[in-house]
Amino acid sequence: METRVPGPCPSCGTEIEYLYTTENIPYFSDILIISAICPSCGYKFVDTQLLKHGEPARHTLAVTSQDDLSVRVVRSMSASIEIPELGVRIDPGPKCEGFVSNVEGILDRVEHVVKGALLWGNDEEKENSAQLLADLARVKAGLLPVTLIVEDPHGNSGIESNRVINEKYEPEE
């Protein structure tokens, strides 16, 4: 189902169109995708929400080969993502957007942020960033196994794999 709703751009105030689309993701539920692009200022918004309320959940996947890079990941606005072996943790913030991606897409997002640190960081940060980029390349090549953890206090995220470990957890206050 698709619905278009007019509204102001939050950045410049120009009237834009918000697109609400419902799709079914196997093993999860229907999802709502909300998107908008402002042609005037370039503002872009995308949010993905599972249309269910669940218990706090932790989803853990051992990423051990290149085949695992295509595993689908749904992250809601309230979920955190962690890759402990790389020292990576992505916590939700006020501008956090949900998304549907795959493991490789998450690694690409991390890579994009790390490349920014290479431009603006001090020498130690640049050295750490270069090492992290090398490690990300090894993960993508299937040479460095890592653990992908998605934690959602509202239970609206998940990893689509028969090897995922799903468990309840107590969110920290």
pLDDT tens figures, 113-166: 999 888 888 889 889 999 999 999 999 999 999 999 999 998 888 999 999 999
- Give the CATH number of the domain where residue 38 resides: 2.20.25.420
Range of the domain at 24: 1-52
Same domain, yes or no: 106 and 92? yes
135 and 76 share a domain?
Answer: yes
Q: Which amino acid is at 8?
A: P
d(CA 115, CA 106): 14
Q: Residue 166: which CATH number?
A: 2.60.120.1040
Same domain, 91 and 107: yes
Indicate the residue among 52, 72, 89 that finishes a domain.
52
Burial 112-121 (b: 16+ CB within 10 A, else e): eebeebeeee
Quick one: 138 and 157 in the same domain? yes
159 shares its domain with 142:
yes
| Residue 104: Cβ-neighbour burial (10 angstroms; 0-12, 13-18, 19+) | middle
Nearest by Cα to 87 from 51, 114, 54: 114
Q: Say what the pLDDT of residue 56 is.
A: 94
Residues 122, 71, single domain; the answer is: yes
Q: How many domains does the chain have?
A: 2
On whether the CB atoms of residues 17 and 5 are closer than 8 A, the answer is yes
My answer on whether 61 and 145 are in the same domain is yes
Sheet containing strand 88-90, edge to edge, reads 88-90, 80-83, 146-152, 57-63, 165-168
pLDDT band at 4 (very low <50, low <70, confident <90, very high): very high
Same domain for 13 and 91, yes or no, is no
* Same domain flag for 39 and 91: no
Same domain, 45 and 57: no
Considering 52, 70, 89, which residue would you say is the last residue of a domain?
52
Q: Does 86 share its domain with 100?
A: yes
* 18 plus 58 within the same structural domain: no
At residue 29, the pLDDT reads: 66
Residue 28 has what pLDDT?
57
Tokens of 66: 């290149």
Q: Say what the pTM is.
A: 0.74
Give the model confidence (pLDDT) of 90-99 as tens digits: 999 877 777 8
Both tokens of residue 23?
Answer: 């799709």
